[in-house]
Amino acid sequence: MDCFTDNYKILEDAAMLPADAFLANEEIRARVIKGVKGMAMCIRSLATNAIAGARPDAVELAVELAKAGIIDFAMVDEFAELLNKADAADKLDPLLLYSDIVRFMEVFEAVYVAIKNSGR
């Protein structure tokens, strides 16, 4: 497995929990925060390698990926928003974090696969 897959698995496990179990368990929340940040770090690393000279700023990175034809322009806003949320995951309200677990998984996986399939 790689860093993305390992972190994705953390979120996948947490997504199966009911909200009250997630909110009541600080250890699980800490693991999810680590997983979200880890997925974002992996994607940023892949993206900056795929786009020579790309900066890690969320919006700029998303736009550069779209300009390069790696992701669709329709994904730019949501991807940038989630990268910014990932950076601040430890400051997010736990209920907001829980409600975004599946969004993190879906969007980050789509971008990860797109970068991997781009051959860059």
pLDDT in tens, 11-20: 999 999 999 9
Q: Give CA–CA dist 61/90, Å, rounded.
A: 22
Domain count, the chain: 1
Q: How confident is the model at residue 84 (pLDDT cuts 50, 70, 90)?
A: very high
Of residues 67, 71, 45, 68, the one with CA closest to residue 56: 45
Angle, in degrees to the nearest 10, between helices 94-117 and 58-67: 30
> For position 1, what pLDDT does the model report?
55
Q: Which domain holds residue 55?
A: 3-117
Q: Give CA–CA dist 80/30, Å, rounded.
A: 22
58: tokens are 């969320």
pLDDT at 56 over 80: no
User: What's the pTM value of the predicted model, to 2 decimals?
Assistant: 0.93
Q: Looking up tokens 């996948």, which residue turns up?
A: 12
Q: Give CA–CA dist 75/63, Å, rounded.
A: 9
pLDDT in tens, 32-43: 999 999 999 999
15: tokens are 């997504």
Q: Give CA–CA dist 104/108, Å, rounded.
A: 6
